[in-house]
Structure 1
Amino acid sequence: MPRGKLRVYLGAAPGVGKTYDMLSEGHRRAERGTDVAIAFVEDYGRALTRQMAEGLETVPRRTMTYRSRTFTEMDLDAVLARRPQVALVDEFAHTNVPGCRNEKRWQDVEELLEAGIDVISTVNIQHLESLNDVVEQITGIRQRETVPDDVVRRADQIELVDMSAEALRRRMAHGSIYPPEKIETALTHFFRAGNLTALREIALLWAADRVEEALLRYRHDHGIQQPWSTRERVVVALSGGPEGETLIRRAKRTASRGAGGEFMAVHVARDDGLAGASPKLLARQRALVENLGGSWHTLAGDDLAEAVLAFARQVNATQIVIGATRRTRLKRLFTRGTGEAIIEGSGDDIDVYVVTHSQAAHGWRPRRHPGTDTDTG
């Protein structure tokens, strides 16, 4: 039996319209003849959401008692028995009441998918496990219900439900999200403009990473070698020389010029076991890369240029940053350096930036190459 497909509507905050969009999608599919059922929807008293749920079959919830209180949860067994083609399951990160078969709703969804049922669900960015601490720093509120990032990233489709901070605050002020008695508190706490702007930016960047992940998978599956530039991704090639810190800082500035840009440092260790760079110097450069938010990669190979270029294409890099050569003029007369080999092998797909530094050989000027810039900063 083929596994079901998962579609997730991702939002930056409550009230952006995730559940409404999920229900709208359910109606569209039902109108095309698909068997759709609501497995669980929480409307929080929002009239528009409640109206959108009308006309769709709802599987009755399961009533449970815990600590003398009554709760209703999605009835997983009833949904499995009903076996719709598409199940609408709100609040992907929800923690089930003790006594349910699974602790988390995303685990319930996993059972539905394994049974061949397609699922459409919703989640807010603050419920992603890796962002829990960041969201607490921004909002002052720690989310108790989380879902592992990898579970969401495995979804077949993720759609970002976007809304500006100003528009969301207007929705709150008009009573479209919370009841009147909660509006003022919400606007002065979680729904402050600064909080919402930060959460929106995090959601956009997280979604952009998901796009990059899907793009890399597509390129791999289809044997596509040339990079596709969806955002700045800078690779800085480090020989282990003292100029490394200059190159790292330049790569960071270059990557930061565009939203969502990132940089990666790569050092190639020789396969032949010959002594290379100072481990102490490399450790210091690695610490700098990580402090600046980059990632460090160590490769093995005898052809340094080939290793750097292969890595750059693998990660869909848009630019490579290298240092001006430290080789003497005599050596340059008889052999081609690693920098020149990188420039010549980069093709038209990757820009190469050659950064001068105090250790560069006196008077050397790199040969220009299409898509190459000699950076003297």
Structure 2
Amino acid sequence: ENLRGELLELWEGKRFPTKSIVMVTHNIEEAVLLADRILVLGSNPGRIHAEIVNPLARPRERRTPRFDELVDRLYGIMTGRPELADGGAPTRPLRGTPGDTPLPHATVDGLSGLTELLHNRSGGSADLADLAEILSLEVDDLLPLVDALVLLGFAALDEDNLHLTPPGDVFAGANIQDSKRIFARAALERAPLVRTIASALRGCADGNLPSGFFEDILRRSFGEEAVATQLHVAINWGRYAELYAFDASRNVIIREDQAISLLEEEEEREVGRGSLRIYLGAASGAGKTFAMLREGQARRAQGEDVVIAAVDARGRPHTLEAIDGLERVPPLVVAADGGPGEEIDVPAVLARRPQTALVDDLEHSWVSGGTTRFRYQDVETIRVAGINVITTLDVQSAGTVRDLIAEVVEAPVETAVPESVLASADEIQLVDISPVALRKRLRHGNIYPAAQIEPELRATFDMARLAALREIALQFVSARVHPEPPAGGPAQDVLVAVSALASGEHLIGRGSRLARRAGGSCTVLAVTPPGTDADTDPRLRRLRDLAALTGARFLVRAGDDPSRTIEEVARELVVRHLVVGMTAAPGWAGRFRRETLVGRLLRALPDLDLHILAPSNPAIPASAGVADGAAGADGVAPETGPSAVPAARGTLRVYLGYARGCGATTAMLDEAHRRASRGADVVVAAVETHGQPAVERDLEGLEVLVTSPSAGVGTVLDTDAVLARRPQVVCVDDLTGLTASGEQRLAAVRRLVAAGLAVIGTAHAADPSAPTGA
């Protein structure tokens, strides 16, 4: 410090004839304090990265905003840190090489401590100078930690203010295991050297590589000292994240299993387009929006960058609670024909570039200036930019079942999502709820305001109508589980023949579903009289739109003889199935004069499967009714009046999973918490946690019956203890298990129901231990 002062005194006082001084230093603050011109050199000698004229007037003082700004700018140039125009953290992975994106010299302990320090401060932010003073560090000693947080996306630097980003805030408050996984994702996405090591280890047969291999790679960009530093930091970061281990005795880096799964996840995101996940419901109020928001919260808790692009809480308390804590991109206020409304601000979402965007109501549309806009078009734009989308949809707006829905609701479906959008979805998950439970939600005011409850109970929420919609939703999802044709069988194409004079919607819907089940394509053929203008005829335009909604190809052929034209096209396309509508029965004279269209097709195409459909009937199908017996499809007694079920008898609701681990136990415990929050006396009588921390957390706050010290807590159902306790609601996990006395749990549950208790249970369709008849 004395030498620096004497040098400045000589230089500024011009007390010796020297015209210039060249000083080499590794201290950025020293360079800013002394130099008039600063050259930033690269790791290779003779390469100048930047030349900066120092704008600060003399005498210069540390800890001033302009001084700190220049120090930070120089550090950013030296480390290759991206300059952020808006001061926000980079939201997409910083792809690069270990040479052009070096790792700051910061340990995980150091940056974890800094995030916790920021997390505990008001607003999650602090001035760099204040942080340096708190930690008793020079600002340039603090900068490696700062730069590490910025590189990983955990913090953003706005001038001289450092603040945590949403992922950084989650990282700071997470438990040890979650924080390791969050750090692992961030390091793989944003730290090229960590990613290079993990990817190289993944490609090795034994998962081991000598550290010298990576030292050779680093020597192309760094000197020996920097090579050792970079590898030391990368090993420190990777070991904490459990991506790889390091054997110092052999100087070998060893692959960890977590690296493989995380790299596979990353590769799926790098395909180009964002993924699409749809939560499907049979009707409004089924819980689609809540399920979407809950998944958003879960992803955010694991360190994923999640934003809300569009959501309609409809004033529902549980939905509003689920929104809390999630970042929301401000909506765009538009002047629609029905009045001002809020829509997705697509440019703002693209500029924000999150990993995942939550978009409610995929079927939503709005009209402005005579032009109709659809939300699924906005979703497509967002996905093209590489952003994942989680959305919601009512089955009533699915294009491929539009004809079935029209029959159930006895009205045409105005807005539908095309099959092309649905087919592009990576996953469609049904949010299932029984008609009884959905009507109960409506009566409690959890769906619509009080004035709408009674009209809705008689309309959309009619018992038979809800059952029909639920059946359609189940079939819709089931048909997409295995869309391929049976093993060994060829794909079977379908031709649908329609007339411009008739609706044809039910024919197109049936044909498209048939093609999907058969693994083939669907073509819609409209036969028109010669001279018809196919481009301007409004009836043909409507049929073309219907075909597009279901993903079918549309053809128009002119001809005087419809049966011959249909036969020619069927032979030309080599289809297996032909779908036609039943024509009106001719009078007695007509039966003798000529053959019907169906008769001619049967004679001309004997090798095809001919599907003849009656005209569309708006009546609700018989299958829409409630299942026979005292319990509905979900195991809850149907609303058939007090005489249908004795007042003393309880109810049974079963969460059925397709296999163990699919979430049936979690769903049961979620309902237990909901009922307990409404004042019900709830007891967990049997539960299988299988050591899963998430399930054990779900048990917190619930009363669990202790069967015996040796048997553990709640793992064996003690029927007598439950009957003695007599709660209002009993949770019994895994109905295929046994009770403390060796009785089948299902039989014991029947006794509990007969005693007037409400039971919530779980079962799995693929459980080999299920008793016969269960």
1:128/1:281 CA distance change after superposition, 3 Å? same
Partner AA of 2:401 in structure 1: L
Query: What is the CA-CA distance between 1:20 and the residue it aligns to?
Result: 0.2
Query: What is the CA-CA distance between 1:119 and the residue it aligns to?
Result: 0.4
CA distance in 1, matches of 2:375, 2:318: 24
1:68/1:205 CA distance change after superposition, 3 Å? closer
Query: What is the CA-CA distance between 1:290 and the residue it aligns to?
Result: 4.2
Query: What is the CA-CA distance between 1:110 and the residue it aligns to?
Result: 0.6
Partner residue of 1:169? 439
Structure 2 counterparts to residues 151-300 of structure 1, below 5 A: 151-213=421-483, 216=484, 225=487, 281=603, 283=605, 286=608, 288-291=610-613
Contact 1:73 1:97 in 2 (8 A): no
Alignment pair present for 1:85 and 2:355: yes
CA distance in 2, matches of 1:28, 1:193: 34
What SS does the corresponding residue of 2:313 show, helix, strand or coil?
coil
Partner AA of 2:400 in structure 1: S
1:284/1:138 CA distance change after superposition, 3 Å? farther
CA distance in 2, matches of 1:159, 1:51: 22
What SS does the corresponding residue of 1:43 show, helix, strand or coil?
coil
1:27/1:180 CA distance change after superposition, 3 Å? same
Structure 1 residues 20-54: Cα deviation after superposition (integer angstroms, max 9, x where no partner): 00000000000000000000001111111111111
What SS does the corresponding residue of 2:605 show, helix, strand or coil?
helix
CA distance in 1, matches of 2:419, 2:355: 26
Structure 1 residues 293-347: Cα deviation after superposition (integer angstroms, max 9, x where no partner): xxxxxxxxxxxxxxxxxxxxxxxxxxxxxxxxxxxxxxxxxxxxxxxxxxxxxxx
Partner residue of 1:65? 335
Partner residue of 2:386? 116
Partner residue of 2:164? none
Q: 393, 403, 413: which one pairs with 1:133?
A: 403
What SS does the corresponding residue of 2:391 show, helix, strand or coil?
strand
Partner AA of 1:106 in structure 2: Y
Structure 2: tracts of 5 or more residues without a match: 1-269, 493-516, 520-570, 572-599, 615-774
Partner AA of 1:57 in structure 2: E
1:183/1:284 CA distance change after superposition, 3 Å? farther
Contact 2:337 2:367 in 1 (8 A): no
Structure 1 residues 225-275: Cα deviation after superposition (integer angstroms, max 9, x where no partner): 568xxxxxxx9xxxxxxxxxxxxxxxxxxxxxxxxxx799xxxx9xxxxxx
Structure 1 residues 173-216: Cα deviation after superposition (integer angstroms, max 9, x where no partner): 11111111100000011110110000110111111111122xx3
Structure 1 residues 40-91: Cα deviation after superposition (integer angstroms, max 9, x where no partner): 0011111111111111000001111234821111111111111110000011
Partner residue of 2:413? 143
Partner residue of 1:34? 304
CA distance in 1, matches of 2:369, 2:318: 33
1:6/1:68 CA distance change after superposition, 3 Å? closer
Alignment pair present for 1:21 and 2:343: no
1:101/1:79 CA distance change after superposition, 3 Å? farther
Contact 2:357 2:387 in 1 (8 A): yes
CA distance in 1, matches of 2:325, 2:359: 16
CA distance in 2, matches of 1:115, 1:96: 23
What SS does the corresponding residue of 1:184 show, helix, strand or coil?
helix
Structure 2 counterparts to residues 354-369 of structure 1, below 5 A: none
CA distance in 1, matches of 2:369, 2:431: 33
Partner AA of 1:7 in structure 2: R
Contact 2:442 2:453 in 1 (8 A): yes
Query: What is the CA-CA distance between 1:101 and the residue it aligns to?
Result: 9.8
Contact 2:337 2:369 in 1 (8 A): no
What SS does the corresponding residue of 2:295 show, helix, strand or coil?
helix
1:99/1:61 CA distance change after superposition, 3 Å? farther
Contact 2:335 2:368 in 1 (8 A): no
Contact 1:93 1:145 in 2 (8 A): yes
Greater RCO (Cα-Cα under 8 Å, separation 6 or more): 1
CA distance in 1, matches of 2:332, 2:451: 30
1:39/1:283 CA distance change after superposition, 3 Å? same
What SS does the corresponding residue of 1:212 show, helix, strand or coil?
coil
CA distance in 2, matches of 1:128, 1:66: 24
CA distance in 2, matches of 1:68, 1:170: 32
Partner residue of 1:44? 314
Query: What is the CA-CA distance between 1:138 and the residue it aligns to?
Result: 1.1
23-32 or 163-172, larger mean C-alpha shift: 163-172
Q: TM-score normalised to the size of structure 1? A: 0.58
Query: What is the CA-CA distance between 1:122 and the residue it aligns to?
Result: 0.5
CA distance in 1, matches of 2:378, 2:333: 16
Query: What is the CA-CA distance between 1:162 and the residue it aligns to?
Result: 0.7
Q: 300, 314, 324: which one pairs with 1:54?
A: 324
CA distance in 2, matches of 1:206, 1:199: 10
Query: What is the CA-CA distance between 1:281 and the residue it aligns to?
Result: 3.5
Contact 2:334 2:340 in 1 (8 A): yes
Query: What is the CA-CA distance between 1:117 and the residue it aligns to?
Result: 0.3
Query: What is the CA-CA distance between 1:132 and the residue it aligns to?
Result: 2.5
Contact 2:336 2:366 in 1 (8 A): no
Query: What is the CA-CA distance between 1:102 and the residue it aligns to?
Result: 7.9
CA distance in 2, matches of 1:38, 1:279: 54
1:279/1:172 CA distance change after superposition, 3 Å? closer
Partner AA of 1:115 in structure 2: A
Query: What is the CA-CA distance between 1:97 and the residue it aligns to?
Result: 3.8
CA distance in 2, matches of 1:92, 1:120: 10
Aligned-pair identity (%): 40
1:94/1:68 CA distance change after superposition, 3 Å? closer
1:286/1:62 CA distance change after superposition, 3 Å? same
Partner residue of 1:350? none
1:145/1:36 CA distance change after superposition, 3 Å? same
Query: What is the CA-CA distance between 1:96 and the residue it aligns to?
Result: 3.2
CA distance in 2, matches of 1:280, 1:145: 36
Query: What is the CA-CA distance between 1:152 and the residue it aligns to?
Result: 1.1
Query: What is the CA-CA distance between 1:19 and the residue it aligns to?
Result: 0.4
CA distance in 1, matches of 2:354, 2:429: 22
Partner AA of 2:411 in structure 1: I
What SS does the corresponding residue of 1:195 show, helix, strand or coil?
helix
1:60/1:198 CA distance change after superposition, 3 Å? same
